[in-house]
Structure 1
C-alpha cells in the first residue's frame, strides 16, 4: 500500500518560468520518504543517536513528466518495491490529482557512523516489508 504525503508548491519552489524547479522534486520525494519511515514507526534521529545508523540515497532514477506550478496541491506517493538485507528500493511519484508529474525509483542504503555500508537491522527490514 502506498504512503501519501501532501505538499503545496510555494513561490520559493518555482523558477523564472513559474514552474517547480527540477531539483525541488527531489526535496519533495525526500519529505515523502521521511514521512513514510516515520509512519512505519522508525525514529531516524534515535536510530542515529543510539545505533549510529543513517539512511543514504544510493541511486535515483527520475522522470519529469509534467510541470507543477505555484500554489498546486501535490501528493507524494511512496511505495516499497524491494527490501533486502542491504537496501530498500522505493517507487515514488509526485501527483496533482490523478496526473503523475514526476516519477522516481530510489535505492536507499544504510550507513554506519564511519560512512561504511551496513545491513539493515532486522526490525527495520520487517517494518519496510522485507523478510
Structure 2
C-alpha cells in the first residue's frame, strides 16, 4: 500500500483540560498527513490546484477515537488513498503512538473537487487530468 507517515509532536496548546489531545486537533493532523501524502506520494500540491481555480473541500469525515495522546508524546499520522471514483476521493488515516505503534485514532475524509468561484463539482478526469491519473496509479499500487 502506498502511504506516508508524518511525525507530530503533541503541543500543550493541543490538549484539553483533561490533559489529552482535544478531539478536533486530530482533524488538523489528518490535514497535515493528507498534504504530506499528496506532495510526497503523488507529487502534487493543493496550492497548484487552487491556482488553477479549484478547491477540494471535505464533504464527509469519520473518526474513531481509541487511546488518547497527551502533551509531550509523539504521534505518527499514516495516510493513504482509500477510494477514488473520478469525482470523490477518500483518504484513510491512522494516528499512532510513535514509540509503541499503538493506534490512537483511525479515520477517513472524503473530498470533492469544486470550482473556486461557485463551488460546482468538477470531474477530475476533465479538469485536472494529472490528479486523476495520480489517484488511479495510487489505487493500483495499493
Q: Same fold (TM over 0.5)?
A: yes
- Alignment partner, residue 48 of structure 2: 46
| Matched position secondary structure for 2:23 | coil
* Structure 2 gap segments, 5+ residues each: none
| 1:58-69 equivalence runs, <5 A | 58-69=59-70
- Which residue, out of 120, 125, 130, partners 2:132? 125
How many residue pairs were aligned?
130
- Alignment partner, residue 115 of structure 1: 119
For residues 92 and 25 of structure 2, the distance between their equivalents in structure 1, rounded to whole angstroms, comes to 17
Query: CA contact under 8 A between 2:65 and 2:104: conserved in structure 1?
Result: yes
Query: CA contact under 8 A between 2:35 and 2:45: conserved in structure 1?
Result: no
For residues 92 and 126 of structure 1, the distance between their equivalents in structure 2, rounded to whole angstroms, comes to 22
| 1:1-131 equivalence runs, <5 A | 1-39=2-40, 40-49=42-51, 51-96=52-97, 97-113=100-116, 114-120=118-124, 121-128=128-135, 129=138
Choose between structure 1 and 2: higher helix proportion: 2
Query: CA contact under 8 A between 2:63 and 2:106: conserved in structure 1?
Result: yes
Deviation at 1:8, TM superposition (A): 0.5
For residues 25 and 3 of structure 1, the distance between their equivalents in structure 2, rounded to whole angstroms, comes to 16
Question: Which portions of structure 1, spanning 4 or more consecutive aligned residues, are displaced by more than 4 angstroms?
Answer: none
RMSD: 1.4
Deviation at 1:116, TM superposition (A): 1.1
Query: CA contact under 8 A between 2:81 and 2:139: conserved in structure 1?
Result: no
For residues 8 and 41 of structure 1, the distance between their equivalents in structure 2, rounded to whole angstroms, comes to 25
TM-score by length of 1: 0.92
For residues 35 and 115 of structure 2, the distance between their equivalents in structure 1, rounded to whole angstroms, comes to 19
